[in-house]
Amino acid sequence: MTFKVYEFDRAIVRRPATSVTKGLRATDRGDPSYPGVKREHDAYVAALREAGVQVEVLEPLEEYPDSIFVEDPALVFTTGAIALRPGAASRAGEAQVMRAVLARHFKNVLQLPRGLVDGGDVLRTPEKVMIGLSARTNLEGAEALVECLAEIGLSGVIVKKTPDNALHFKSGTSLLDDVTVLTTRRQSGSGVFSGFKEMLVPPGEETAANALRVNDRVLVGADFPATIALLSKAGFKVVPLPNSEIRKIDAGLSCMSLRWHQ
């Protein structure tokens, strides 16, 4: 049986550490509250389970404030997993910790051999794996990732640099179905989505572009009513989720889980 790239039955998440309040952020909007982050993370895990996903919840890592964002140090696919080399120095040790977790689930676990790559810059589509260059993902790392992807039977392609005001490639885009991406006007203008139908988030809700399609539903930040209305009108089953505290440390919905179909 062939599965869509947004159909998942397994996921890995990590509970936030109390140190999450000191997580990295490009713009200082104040520290998030630990209880707030925990509530939002709990709601996120519940939404994955309600979508039919079996979720493994890892214990917190106090020494890594950003370790709640498990997608940045690793990538997972049905055919294998890749431990990455995160672009932020404070997160360098997370990939090694995650590698041991990946080995429990995948026979084939590769290690990015050189360069820097954050998983937030990597978008899986039906035909290819798109790798965006950013402050956290450099060309050397992207080229090495293309090689790793080929080893597990996937085609990788390097796309243009992420717009300067976005942390990651996926900060401004997400896959909605086989032919449609949700994206910002600025990201749309980069020309990387040739061949896709583009659905543009309404002005003022650019952060909503980091939505997450999981099986028959789309997870979206609850604070973006215009985007929720847009997606609902287009026929998508939308699940609004609170993420205002997590957004204070530049997070979206895709980065908090590693998802695959076993």
Instruction: List pLDDT tens digits, range 120-179.
Output: 999 999 999 999 999 999 999 999 999 999 999 999 999 987 776 788 999 999 999 999
Exactly one of 41, 105, 148, 168 is catalytic; name it. Answer: 168
Q: Which sign does the torsion angle of CA 129, 135, 138, 139 carry?
A: positive
In this structure, the number of other CB atoms found within 10 A of the CB of residue 258 comes to 24
Exactly one of 105, 148, 255, 261 is catalytic; name it. Answer: 255
In this structure, the number of other CB atoms found within 10 A of the CB of residue 56 comes to 14
Q: What is the CATH number of domain 10-21+33-260?
A: 3.75.10.10
Residue type, 206: E
Q: Contact, 220 vs 227, CB < 8 A?
A: yes
Q: Contact, 166 vs 137, CB < 8 A?
A: no
Q: Contact, 197 vs 180, CB < 8 A?
A: yes
Q: Does residue 249 sit in helix, strand or coil?
A: helix
Cα distances (Å, whole numbers) of residue 198 to 110, 172, 177, 256: 33, 12, 11, 24
Q: Contact, 214 vs 6, CB < 8 A?
A: yes
pLDDT tens-digit series, residues 165-174: 788 999 999 9
Q: Which two tokens stand for residue 180?
A: 């449609």
Active site residue 148: no
Total-model pTM:
0.96
